[in-house]
Amino acid sequence: MPQKPANVIFGLADKPPLGTTVFLGFQHVCLVAISLVFPALLIYETGGSPEQAGFMIDMSLLAGGLGAIMQSLPRGPVGCGYFCPQVCGPSFWAASLAAAKMGGLPLVLGMTAVAGLIESIFSRFMHKLRGLFPPEVIGLIVALVGITVIRTAMNSLTASDPQAEAFAHHGLLIGLFTLGVMIALNIWTKGNLRLFCSLIGMAAGYGLSIASGLVHQEHMLHVGQQPWIDLPVLDHPGLAFDCSLILPLVVATLCSTLKTVGDITTCQKINDEQWKRPDMTNIKKGILADGLTCLTAGVVGGFGQSTSSSNIGLSIATGATSRVIGVAVGAIMIVMSLCPKLAAVFTVMPRPVMGGTLLFAMSFMVVAGVQIITSRMLDSRKTFVVGLSLIIGLSVDITPQVYEGLPEAIRPIFGSSLSAGAICAVFLNLVFRLGLRKSAQTALPATAQAQGEAVAFLKRQGAAWGARAEVINRAAAGLSELVELLTLHGMVRQGGIDVQASFDELSVSLKLSYAGQAVELPPAPPEASTILEDQLAQRRLGGFLIGKYADQVEVARRGEINEVRLRWEH
C-alpha cells in the first residue's frame, strides 16, 4: 500500500469534499484546454473549416474525458489507478499532419485508431520489458517532457496583441503576472489558496488580459455564438487507412508510450513516500488505458490522446493527487464536449496565460525527472546514457537544421526533443548493457579481517553496477553479520569463505560457500537470559538477525560445502 507523502494534501485514495473536487477538476481542465491547440492547428494547417476544428476539439474532449476516468480506475485490467488524465498528445502531431495532407480528416482519424490499437497490443508485453526502462531512462523521459514544453510555453508567454504596437511586451507581463500569482500562492499560502493556486492565477491572468485588451470583442462574440448543447459525433467524416503511414505512426506511438511510462512512474513516485522502483504491472494497465483512449479518439473523431504531464505537474504543485479528481476532470471534459459554449470559454484563453501556467506545472516535472534519475548510483555507463540522450534531445530544438536531410521514414523520431532523447536513451541503455559484468566473486580468509574485506568488496561492486546505495548498504550489513557469525564462532573448519555477488536491476544476490558448520535460521530470537552465557544461543541470534537483514534467505548443503544465499529486492 503506498505511503502518503507529507506534502500531499489529498492523497491517492482520499476523497476531497464535493465542492473542492469540482474546483480542482476545473483547474485541471483549464490546463487540458491548452492541448486543444493541436486539433485546431491540424485543421487550419490543411485548409479545413472552423466547423471541422470545432468538431475535432469536441471529440478530443469526449475521448480524453473517457480516458481520464479509465485511468482513474483502481481495479481491473485497465487503468493505472492514479490521477493521470488524457489530453491531445504532441507525439502524434507530425504523423497526424502527414495523414491530413494525404487524405484529409478521415485518414487522420483512421490512423489515430490504428495507433491506439498498436499501443494497446504493446501494453500486453510491457511488464516483461523492465530491463529497457531503468530509473535513469524513465527519469530522463520525465525531465524531457518538461523541457520539450519550454518552446511552446515561452512562445505563448511572450505573445502580445498584434494590433497594438504600443503594448509590444504586455503579453509577457501578463504571462509573468499569471506565473507570479501561482508561485506566490503555492509557496506562501496553505489550504484552499494553495489547492487552487493555478485556477486563481489563470483567473487573474484572464482578468488582466480582458482589462488590457488582449482578449478582443470577437473572442467574446465567438463564445456567445456557440450553442449550449450539440451532438457533434453526428458530423463524423468517416475513417480511412493508408499502409504507407504505418512506420511514422509506430514511431509516434512509441514516443507517446515512452512518455506515458514516465508519467505513470511519476504518479507512482509522488504518491508513495517509500517509492523504490517502477511498478511495470501497473504501468502495463495504464498503457492499455492510454491505447484504448487513443483508439476511441480515432473512432469518434478526435486527435491522438496521451497522458498529460502538465496535469501531473500541477497535481504535485497543489498537493492534490486523488484519483477522484481524475474522475471529476473526465466528467467535466465529457460535459464540455457536448456543450460548445462552455468549451469555447477555454479555447479562447489568452496565450500568455497558457504560457505562465505551463511553466508553473512543468517546473515540477523537470525536478521529478531529476529525482528519479538520481535515485540510483550513476556509473559511467548510465552517465553516458543520460548525458548523450539529453544532448541529442536538446539538439533537436537548438540546431534543428542538422536533422533536415534525414530520410522521411525516421524524421518523426527527431520531430521533438522528447522523441529523440527518449528513443536514444532506450537504444543506448541496450548498447551499454552489452558486456556489463553482472556478477563478481572473492575469497575471504576465516579471520577477523574477513568482515571488513567483505563489506569493501560489496560496496565496490555496488558502485560499479550502479545499484541503489540503500540496497547495497542493507546487503553490506547482512553480509557483515553473516561473515562475523562464521568467523567469530569458528564455524569455518578449513579453507576460507567464497563469496559470489550478482546484480540484475531487479535484485542484489549473495551466495556464501564454505566448509564447516551450517548456519541455523531460527524464526524467533533466543531468550535474552541465555545469550550472554550460551554460545549456541549467540549463534542462533546471529542467524535470526541475518534472516531479518535480507528479503530472502536460503541455506543448503552440497556434499561437504554449506551454502547461504541472500537476496535483496532492488
- pLDDT tens-digit series, residues 219-276: 666 666 777 777 665 667 888 888 877 877 887 788 788 888 888 988 888 888 877 7
Q: Are 506 and 570 in contact (CB under 8 A)?
A: yes
Grid-cell match 506545472, residue found:
361
Cα 491 from chain centroid (whole Å): 49
Find, among 101, 38, 95, the residue nearest to 64 by Cα.
38
| CA–CA separation, 533 and 527 (whole Å) | 11
DSSP for 21-44, please give it.
HHHHHHHHHHHHGGGGHHHHHHHH
The pLDDT value given to residue 437: 54
Predicted local distance difference test score (pLDDT) of residue 292: 95
* Tens digits of residue pLDDT in 403-444: 887 776 677 677 778 778 888 888 888 888 655 557 889 998
516, 560 contact by CB (below 8 A)? no
Q: Torsions phi, psi of 56, nearest 5?
A: -70, -35
Calculate mean pLDDT across residues 483-509.
85
**pLDDT value of residue 130:** 66
Please state the rounded mean pLDDT for residues 168-176.
75
What average pLDDT does range 349-366 have in this prediction?
Answer: 78
500 pLDDT more than 90: yes
SS3 annotation, 253-268: HHHHHHHHHHHHHHHH
Go through 299-336 and write b for each residue having 16 or more CB atoms within 10 A of its CB, e for each that does not. Answer: bbbbbbbbbbbbbbbbbbbbbbbbbbbbbbbbbbbbeb
Residue 342: what pLDDT?
67
pLDDT at residue 223, rounded to an integer: 65
Is pLDDT at 166 greater than 50 in this prediction? Answer: no
Instruction: Decide if pLDDT at 467 tops 70.
Output: yes
Q: What is the pLDDT of residue 216?
A: 65
The rounded distance, in Å, linking the Cα atoms of 550 and 552 is 5
Asked whether 96 and 303 are in contact (CB, 8 A), the reply is: yes
Could you tell me the end-to-end alpha-carbon distance of the chain, in angstroms, rounded to an integer?
A: 18
In order of their start, the domains of the chain are 18-432 (no CATH), 439-569 (3.30.565.10)
Q: What is the DSSP letter of 320?
A: B
Decide: residue 132, CB within 10 A, 0-12 exposed, 13-18 middle, 19+ buried: middle
Label residue 162 by pLDDT band (50, 70, 90).
very low
Which DSSP state fits 124? T
**Residue 348 reports pLDDT greater than 70:** no
Q: Which three cell numbers stand for residue 73?
A: 480506475
Q: Burial, 221: exposed, middle or buried (Cβ in 10 Å; 0-12, 13-18, 19+)?
A: exposed
